[in-house]
Structure 1
Amino acid sequence: MNTVWAAVAAATAFVWLGMVLAISFLEAPLKFRAPGVTLRIGLGIGRLVFRALNRVEAALAGVLVLAVAAGGLPAPVVVPTGLVVGLLLVQLGVVRPALNRRSDRVLAGEDGPRSRAHLVYVACESVKVLLLPVLGIAALSL
């Protein structure tokens, strides 16, 4: 086990945590409260912001996997890493495409039922917010 890679894993987990908290739990709900922000404008902004967030998350996941593999880190770090990366893959591969289809319809002016995919995305984000500090603390403890 390499303590430098453990420190990289911890730092990556905490940076990732901060980004998810700031974007998903602060920016996303607040933008709809700003004066003049309609649902269509908010969705347009949200798509841009979450596309950028997800790209950064993918990069952070790559760094995290590299740190865990290169550092030979133990199970208390490997397990939450696998779970957090798995959640991100579900979000990117399953949930985001469903959200994009729904936002495409709304942005095109169509009306329809609310998507449950949003609730799944929020649930994934919530679990990541629980797992990332566990991962970071476990890596710092090495």
Structure 2
Amino acid sequence: MQDGTFHSPGHSEETWTRGDVFASQCPTRQLLDRIADKWSTLILVALGRGPIRFNELKRRIEGVSQKMLSQTLKSLERDGLVSRTVVATVPVTVTYAVTPLGRGLIASMQAMIDWAETQMLQVAQAQADYDGRISAP
């Protein structure tokens, strides 16, 4: 059994407790690594607007490659944040949607997005100040 896990009497599944997020094997850190990257964030926000097909999602997220989009969707699906629905049509229709678990994450992300949108001028000013100090002789 890994550190940070224990068996509950009468339950066969492992229950996670809070671990040391600074430790590389911490389950919380591993999940944060997956959901905090730019592609996961953008995909979840895009899917938060409603179910969407792969190619439309690729068009909506500027700069994402087909390979990266596919890999990220698979990871998000594995984590239970995104669902994938296949309809037997010609050609096959595949639609992605946010799960209830994913909706909870999007709500948390929205606070971060709101902060970024309201603080961008201050961040830009701090960057300009920093760049000015670094480039000054």
TM-score w.r.t. length of structure 2:
0.31
* Greater percentage in helix: 1
Which gives a bigger RCO, structure 1 or 2 (Cα 8 Å, sep 6+)? 1
* Greater percentage in strand: 2
